[in-house]
């Protein structure tokens, strides 16, 4: 396929998304199945175009004065790829499967319109209904934080300390040009200018030396303080990424219990355990109405909560998710977070620690939830963010302490990670 035909395909995919309100990954997969003539490079390039358009949907629509799929894609070519109107016009010929030529109005928009007068939520590509929540957190930096959440994310890897150290992983992946992550002592970063590398084909990944994991997720595990011999409950384990990091911190000594209210989310964990050589993990999948964690009540040194959330901190990786998110979802997530936090207290032993993390940047899902928990449980005490960071060996993270309560807030703009909130509480020793 030529570049112009790829533009037409991307417009088609964005149109289907709009009409059917489906995730872009699903639409791309179905498009590939029904267009077998498109090679892997074509599908990758078309996917990149669609994702770029979704990253800057609001600002591209503002520039073009039109929110149609075609207009948004044209605006994205200018916003993200820096194309001039002449370059874009050269692609839109109307021939050989190319989109129709630019209209005079489109040319004028591409040449003269700017974001100078746009509100923060447009410049930051933030859903308008979330603008007040973002402003409450970031104030005058709202647009800049949103812009950072709209850029492509690097590929971060976590070295599995059960298989080797970061230097070993760096040597094994030398051909990919890995760089140590700024904060995590386990992390390597692959900054790709085009397509992300296919990690599943890399021996270092296949043999369990590295796992794909954003540095923010790595730091959440690091800040938990998990250590050899402890009893640790990962209450929202999902696919097990942080579970594996905890097991490595514990050097396969002690016990990690991996649980999740949705047993389907635990499915990937079994293969990952074998690949990582993690032998101190028990998976506690739901069994009907049976309380599969009853024996852990009051026994845990650490309860780790990677709470269900809106995912506002992961928009770099899931740009379509922010436009599909609806106000009711935030309320539902806050309710679920309160429920999991209330349940977690049951398992903490006196002197035990609770680590709460979300991939959200919103007060509602973070500081507000911790404040509600502290009000309900006077025996829980927040750990100072600077102290938490220093104990974990990353004192520089203390500079990112929340100004609205306990915990740390990480963002692409300030730390180069996904957006994360991380807070630690301890239970009074009695």
What is the Cα–Cα distance from 321 to 397, expressed in whole angstroms? 28
Active site residue 359: yes
pLDDT at 279 over 80: yes
Q: How confident is the model over 35-40, as a mean pLDDT?
A: 84
Q: How confident is the model over 133-140, as a mean pLDDT?
A: 97
Backbone phi, psi, residue 425, to 5°? -130, 150
Poorest-pLDDT segment among 45-54, 196-205, 362-371, 406-415: 196-205
Both tokens of 405, joined, read: 């309560």
- Count the residues in the chain: 430
Look at residue 195 in the predicted model and tell me its pLDDT.
66
Cα–Cα distances in angstroms (integers) from residue 255 to residues 19, 33, 94, 141, 223, in the given order: 48, 44, 63, 43, 18
Report all structural domains of the chain as residue ranges with CATH numbers, in order of start: 3-114 (no CATH), 157-212 (no CATH), 215-427 (3.40.50.150)
Cα–Cα distances in angstroms (integers) from residue 242 to residues 121, 152, 160, 174, 273, in the given order: 32, 23, 11, 25, 12
Poorest-pLDDT segment among 129-138, 187-196, 376-385: 187-196
pLDDT tier for residue 430 given thresholds of 50, 70 and 90: low
Residue 429: Cβ-neighbour burial (10 angstroms; 0-12, 13-18, 19+): exposed
CA 43 to chain centre: 23
pLDDT at 194 over 80: no
Q: How confident is the model over 178-194, as a mean pLDDT?
A: 90
End-to-end CA distance of the chain: 69
CB contact at 8 A, 69 and 53: yes
Look at residue 40 in the predicted model and tell me its pLDDT.
85
pLDDT at 165 over 90: yes
CB contact at 8 A, 354 and 370: no
* Percent share of the chain, pLDDT over 90: 87
Q: Is 156 annotated as a binding residue?
A: no
Cα–Cα distances in angstroms (integers) from residue 107 to residues 90, 245, 270, in the given order: 12, 51, 54
Q: Is 260 annotated as a binding residue?
A: yes
Of the residues 300, 309, 334, 359, which is catalytic? 359
SS3 271: helix
Q: How confident is the model over 74-84, as a mean pLDDT?
A: 93
pTM of the model: 0.94
Q: How confident is the model over 197-207, as a mean pLDDT?
A: 91
What is the Cα–Cα distance from 357 to 309, expressed in whole angstroms? 10
pLDDT tier for residue 36 given thresholds of 50, 70 and 90: confident
Tell me whether strands 155-159 and 187-190 are parallel, antiparallel or unpaired.
Answer: antiparallel
Cα–Cα distances in angstroms (integers) from residue 31 to residues 42, 52, 59, 74, 321, in the given order: 12, 18, 26, 21, 19
Segment 244-265, tens digit of pLDDT: 999 999 999 999 999 999 999 9
């Amino acid at each position: 396929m030529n570049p112009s035909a790829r533009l037409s395909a991307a417009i088609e995919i964005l149109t289907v998304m709009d009409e059917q309100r489906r995730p872009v990954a699903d639409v791309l997969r179905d498009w590939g199945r029904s267009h077998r003539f498109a090679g892997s490079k074509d599908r990758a390039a078309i996917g990149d175009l669609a994702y770029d358009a979704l990253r800057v949907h609001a600002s591209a629509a503002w520039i073009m004065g039109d929110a149609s799929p075609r207009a948004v894609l044209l605006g994205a070519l200018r916003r993200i790829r820096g194309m001039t109107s002449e370059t874009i016009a050269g692609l839109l010929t109307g021939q050989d499967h190319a989109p129709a030529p630019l209209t005079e109005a489109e040319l004028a928009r591409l040449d003269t319109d700017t974001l100078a007068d746009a509100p923060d939520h447009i410049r930051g590509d933030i859903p308008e209904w979330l603008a007040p929540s973002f402003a409450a957190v970031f104030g005058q930096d709202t647009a800049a934080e949103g812009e950072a959440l709209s850029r492509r994310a690097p590929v971060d890897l976590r070295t599995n300390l059960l298989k080797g150290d970061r230097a070993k992983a760096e040597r094994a992946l030398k051909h990919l040009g890995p760089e140590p992550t700024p904060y995590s002592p386990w992390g390597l970063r692959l900054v790709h200018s085009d397509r992300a590398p296919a990690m599943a084909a890399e021996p270092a990944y296949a043999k369990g030396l590295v796992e794909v994991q954003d540095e923010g997720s790595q730091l959440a595990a690091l800040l938990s303080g998990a250590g050899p011999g402890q009893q640790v409950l990962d209450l929202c384990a999902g696919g097990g990424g942080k579970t594996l990091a905890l097991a490595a911190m514990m050097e396969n000594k002690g016990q990690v219990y991996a649980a999740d209210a949705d047993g389907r989310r635990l499915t990937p964990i079994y293969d990952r355990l074998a690949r990582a050589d993690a032998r101190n993990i028990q998976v506690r999948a739901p069994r009907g109405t049976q309380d599969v964690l009853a024996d852990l009540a009051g026994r845990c040194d650490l309860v780790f909560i990677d709470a269900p959330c809106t995912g506002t901190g992961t928009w770099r990786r899931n740009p379509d998710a922010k436009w599909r998110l609806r106000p009711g979802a935030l309320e539902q997530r806050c309710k679920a977070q309160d429920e999991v936090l209330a349940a977690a207290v049951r398992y903490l032993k006196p002197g035990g620690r609770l680590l709460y993390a979300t991939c959200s940047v919103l007060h509602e899902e973070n500081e507000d939830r911790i404040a509600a928990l502290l009000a309900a449980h006077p025996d829980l005490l927040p750990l100072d963010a600077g102290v938490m960071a220093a104990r974990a060996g990353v004192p520089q993270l203390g500079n990112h302490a929340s100004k609205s309560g306990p915990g740390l807030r990480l963002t692409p703009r300030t730390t180069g990670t996904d957006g994360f909130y991380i807070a630690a509480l301890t239970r009074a020793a009695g």
